[in-house]
Amino acid sequence: MLFPLKFRPKDSYKEGMRRFGANRDHGRRKHAGCDLYAPIGTPVFAVADGTVIAAYPFYLGSWAIEVDHGTFVVRYGEVKPKVAPGIKAGAKVAARQLLGEVGLLKGLKMSMIHFEMFSGAAKGPLTVKGNPPYQRRSDLMDPTPFLDAADMQAGKPPSPCFWFPGLQTGGRGFGLDADSRVGLAHGGGQFGFTNGM
Ligand SMILES: [Zn+2]
């Protein structure tokens, strides 16, 4: 597996609120992923070849992208509502392909990728509010060891992107400001705390 960003965040995803299993909502649930702190607009890349399951509103105006990577499923949470061109249900993605950018979290002073992993053994929605303490599907996995072992993207040639050659450099092929406003317009507040962070 590859790391989803070109750098490892200086704030460890194994500590504090960022770690898998950290308490949320005053202990009523546990954090279902690892938080990779990064500036808004940071490119987010596929960690392996796969097929997009869905992209949809997630938390505080941000979106999430679900990808079936064959031997595991990843939810790339808290990206911008405007995902990379072609990233939609059924689309094939290659390892290192651009999926989107780190998004704005309305009302918070931090931004990140909220990274969740599932084995793929279960089916259906990844968020299951009746399944404590994580409120996630039964095949949820701790992504920490996978992130620890992940190869870094930097210095490696980008994988071929047959659909959008202009994205091979990981560049900003899509707008920065407009999509944030879109996120604010129909985002904040309606996707409860059980979904994100
Ligand atoms: Zn999180």
Percent of the chain at pLDDT exceeding 70 = 78
| Lookup: tokens for 160 | 């071929």
At 127-141, the pLDDT tens digits run 999 999 999 999 999
Q: Which of 24, 3, 43 is nearest to 150 (CA)?
A: 3
Residues 6 or more apart from 138 whose CB is under 8 A from it? 121, 122, 128, 131
Give me ligand 1 centre to Cα 160, in Å: 30
How much distance in Å is there from the Cα of 30 to the middle of ligand 1?
Answer: 10
Cα 166 to ligand 1 centroid, rounded to whole Å:
31
Cα–Cα distance for residue pair 100/64, rounded to 1 Å: 10
Cα of 114 vs centre of ligand 1, distance in Å, is: 4
Residues 28-80 pLDDT 10s: 999 999 999 999 999 999 999 999 999 999 999 999 999 999 999 999 999 99
The H-or-E segment that residue 43 falls in is strand 43-45
Residue labelled with tokens 């002073």? 109
List Cα–Cα distances, 57 to 10, 97, 141, 186, in angstroms. Answer: 27, 21, 22, 9
Residue the block writes with tokens 């870094």: 152
- Residue whose C-alpha is closest to residue 115's, from 77, 145, 172: 77
Q: What spacing in Å lies between the alpha carbon of 31 and ligand 1's midpoint? A: 6
Give me the domains of the chain, ranges plus CATH numbers. 16-158 (2.70.70.10)
